[in-house]
Amino acid sequence: MEADFIARMQQIRLTEEEGEVLEIRSTNRDKTLEECSLSLLGRFLSTRPYNLKATKATLRAAWKLGSDVRIIEVGEEILQFKFTLESQLVWVLNNGPWSFDNNLLVLRRWERGMTARLVTFSVLPIWVQVWGLPFDLINEEAAWDIGKGLGHVVEVDNKTFSSEQARFIRICVEIPLHKPIWRGGYVLSLEGDRVRVGFKYERMVGLCYQCGLFGHDAKECPTPKDQQLTENPYGEWLKAGQRKSCDIPNRRRNSSPRWETR
């Protein structure tokens, strides 16, 4: 209903009096900008309703921030998270993605001029593991090149190259939400050798195993199922290792929030 009202408001023809520009005083402008600069906007990628009160309580417990984070509804399905410190905000971003009852929470930093009508969530920062690389391609340069093919590279885990494991490399990538995730692909070495690699996703939740998009289940997928396939093209095998997630339980089974490690 809010979206309908705002859309209609943009189309109506204002009277001469309504068209006068209303000036806003800037007495508390600096304070407001500081609060907004320490905030994230978020939305759950889900077709199912969720308990907002329980969600807020579970988030505060999971992030161990208590009253240091304010969670405000600023639009239909859009939440604003206001932090006390920059370090708190960065920690939440760096340790995502977060999920509740298999509902994926997508976050982005506040930018000046944002409104509930204009804010969009088009990418998901997520750690991707690249498996199957030749030993001589397990290096930082290769990680950046591969990551750029998946989306915008946020960070490469350099610890991989100095640790005692060399089975895969880790890249934090902002993957586009309107495209299916990559299950695998080919890399080309400097010598011209084409090698097939596979991708695993850390803390992956809410993925449709039929179309490879986030935000709905396979049974709700609008993409017609290929009757020639005996199993879904995507599955649990794309998840990497252990994943922490904040889950809101079914309130009929359990009345208390829980923080799970899986």
What pLDDT, in 10s, does the model give residues 195-228?
999 999 999 999 999 999 999 988 889 888 877 7
Tens-digit pLDDT profile for residues 82-129: 999 999 999 999 888 998 888 899 999 998 878 877 888 999 999 999
Task: Report if residue 102 sits inside a domain.
Answer: no
Is residue 53 assigned to a domain?
no
Share of the chain above pLDDT 90, in %: 41
Q: Measure the CA–CA gap between 221 and 62, rounded to whole angstroms.
A: 30
Q: What is the pLDDT of residue 211?
A: 93
Decide if 4 is inside a domain: no
Return the closest-CA partner of residue 170 out of 241, 64, 98: 241
pLDDT value for 261: 32
Q: Which domain holds residue 213?
A: 123-243
Report pTM: 0.77
Q: What is the pLDDT of residues 153-206, one digit of tens each?
A: 999 998 877 777 778 999 999 999 999 999 999 998 878 889 999 999 999 999
Contact by Cβ (8 Å): 64, 70: no
- The whole-angstrom separation of Cα 231 and Cα 233 is 6
Q: CA 12 to CA 112: how far, in whole Å?
A: 26
Q: What is the reported pLDDT for 117? A: 78
Looking at the structure of the chain, the number of domains it has is 1
In a domain, residue 84? The reply is: no
* Close Cβ partners of 88 (under 8 Å, ≥ 6 residues apart): 63, 65, 68, 69
Q: What is the pLDDT of residue 173?
A: 95
User: Residue 152 falls within a domain, yes or no?
Assistant: yes
Give the pLDDT band of residue 6 (cuts 50, 70, 90).
low
Largest CA distance in the chain: 72
User: Which residue, among 209, 187, 182, 212, has the nearest Cα to 197 in the 3D structure?
Assistant: 187
Averaged over 18-33, what is the pLDDT?
A: 64
